[in-house]
A and B are shown apart, each in its own frame.
Chain A
Amino acid sequence: MASIARCLRAARPALKVPVSRVCSARAFSATTTCNDPPTDALRKYTKEHEWIDLSADLKTGVIGISEYAAKALGDVVFVELPEEGKRVQAGDAIGAVESVKSAADINAPVSCKITAVNMLLEEKPATINQVPEDDSHGGGWIAKVSVDEQGVKDLDKLMDEKAYEEFTATEEEH
């Protein structure tokens, strides 16, 4: 994701609800609820507002854009999905989201290989606005990936949910 959260101020509705209170943000773990944050949560966020969920064995993951970014972008009218089978480095543009005349890059949070893409977004791009942090069937996740050692190392540079929440709160103040 591009650094949209700050730059699209004009299009952004007031966002006062912290990301962590949004149920869909936790959809990746069946055992967790909104009131009970996952203890095995390997969801991390980038400063550019992508998230990645990593499996417990650190081999596979799911990528998407954050609730905060989805709100900032406004109505998503098209999602350019990543290319299946492609290997990318952390920070590489893997796809794009179009909303309100803006094409915003989606970047790889870590080095990875794209193993599957969410075809639902081709038909229903607005899913990104509704459940951007849902990595289940019907959710707004963007791609599934496999991760190697480098990818796991890249994870260290990302923020956990709490840090990301604080980060977006600072962006709000600008």
Chain B
Amino acid sequence: MNNVLTTPKPHPPPSLSHPQSPPSPRTYTTASLARPLQIYRSTTTNPHLNLSIEHDLLTRSAPTSTVLFLYTNRPSIILGRNQNPWLEVHHPLLRRGLPGSQPTIDLLRRRSGGGTVFHDLGNANWTVICPPAVFDRDRHAEMVARALQRLGVATARVNERHDIVVDSEAEAGGTYKVSGSAYKLTRLRALHHGTCLLGSENLGRVGALLRAPGAGYIKARGVESVRSAICNVGVGRGEFEEAVGVGVEEVGEEMGEVEVVAKGWKELMSPEWVYGQTPLFTFSTCPTEEDPRERPPLPRELPAGKLQTNLTLRHGVITSASITGLFDSTTDKIISERLVGRNLFRSPSTKDLDVDGGDGWASILSAAVGSASSDSFATASARTDSVEALGKWLDGMLPVLPLR
């Protein structure tokens, strides 16, 4: 069967239903995946689909082949594989979206390492997949830097962080980052992908999107992003693609019909991957031995100088909790114990954070309080007020994700 790329579906499009027919437009075939040099350009701007196509190329292209894949995504934020969405991203701004764009900005976790990046239509992505023997961390960034030089970006070069930078015109010796790199290495293949800021209209907004309100309380294992000053190179997408990859084949939305790509897409969408893959982290309102930083002051609505919250989360699930100074110590202890095992992300497969009624921290805390001994409280209303104030604050600092 030569048409193994198509998904078995009850009603496949006619071109996909006959193994003998030529491949449908804008997909690659097993034959093209075997070629020594392959260059593809995606016509879809769906970030999940593009990342899934990229992963499919990594796993299915011939081990000796070299593949170049070019794509741009609609506004989205892409976490590195071992990063923490509570630490890297301003979720309310993400949900608000950008002026004149789609309602929200997508949040994804990619499979490669490195830090968080912002994608939009003015930020081109380039991917090179090759055999390990011909790979090093700078080789392909240098290829892109040379292409930029040919396009008139004279100062484009690769720095010691394997990023492409250009000289700042305003400040002597200063540089701006225009392209960041990340890598994924498997047994047989090496993948290097990078961004290239051609002409993003959102440069001024990226900083705020990548600043989490709760960062001052969070200490995370894994990988933290490194901030860099960024700028556009002022090159059109068409000329960039032409300079980087000659002889490009288009792939498009149709790739979503390919079974393995559809499967990868679904995996990338799953809350278990985006949020549940988060390495261990702590959230604490006071300096601790592990994280002795001074903490930002708590808001006035919370019992000042009295309330302390210490949470440890593994894979987005609370594994230890200590809330003190909310009520009497016995009740605080009961509430803390009941928080253990709670998920801080919404997923169809997690039962305890009810998929419909989950109102974030208010509902998590009231569930814990509600089942604690009511004898130990002064009044029910005081109880509600404290829980609401703490819940509201935690929703800002350590939200249940994704927000609704």
A residues at B contact (CB < 8 Å): 2-4, 6-11, 48, 77-78, 80, 91, 93, 96, 98-105, 107, 122-123, 174
Does A105 lie within 8 Å of B221, measured CB to CB? no
B189 to nearest A CB, angstroms?
8
How far, in angstroms, from A110 to B385 measured CA to CA in the complex? 58
- Which residues on the B side are within 8 Å of A122 (C-beta)? 221, 279-280
Is the CB–CB distance between B113 and A101 below 8 Å? yes
B111 within 8 A of A: yes
Which A residues lie within 8 Å of B279 (CB)?
78, 122
* B52-101 interface with A by 8 A CB criterion: 80-82
In the complex, what residues of A have CB within 8 A of residue B136's CB? Answer: 7-11
Query: Assuming the A-B contacts A3-B187, A96-B81, are A102 and B132 also in contact, with contact meaning beta carbons closer than 8 angstroms in the complex?
Result: no
Interface of B is mostly: loop
Q: Is B137 touching A103 in the complex (CB atoms < 8 A)?
A: no
A101 touches B114 (CB 8 A): yes
Q: State whether A103 touches B221 (Cβ < 8 A).
A: no
Additional A-B contacts beyond A6-B133, A96-B81 (5; CB < 8 A)? A3-B187, A11-B136, A103-B81, A103-B113, A122-B221
A77 to B132, CA, bound (A): 22
- Whether, in the assembled complex, B363 has its beta carbon less than 8 Å from a beta carbon of chain A, the answer is no
Q: A10-B137, A11-B137 are in contact. Are A98 and B132 (CB under 8 A)?
A: no
Which 5 residue pairs are nearest across A and B when measured between Cβ atoms?
A2-B185, A3-B132, A101-B114, A102-B183, A7-B135
Q: Could you tell me if B181 and A101 are in contact, using CB atoms closer than 8 angstroms?
A: yes
Q: Give the Cβ gap from B149 to chain A, nearest Cβ, in Å.
A: 20
B158's nearest neighbour on chain A, judged by CB, is A10
Residues in A with CB closer than 8 Å to B135 are 6-8
Question: Which B residues are CB-close (under 8 A) to A48?
Answer: 187
In the complex the two chains form, what is the Cα distance from A174 to B134 in whole Å? 10
In contact, A98 and B186 (Cβ under 8 angstroms): no
Contact of B112 among A3, A8, A91, A103 (CB under 8 A): A103
Q: Bound complex: CA of A71 vs CA of B346, how far in Å?
A: 40
Judge whether A4 and B82 touch: CB under 8 Å.
Answer: no
Q: Which residues of B contact A3 (CB under 8 A)?
A: 132-133, 185, 187-188, 190
A–B pairs, 10, beta carbons within 8 Å: A2-B190, A4-B185, A6-B132, A9-B136, A11-B136, A77-B222, A102-B185, A103-B112, A104-B185, A105-B186
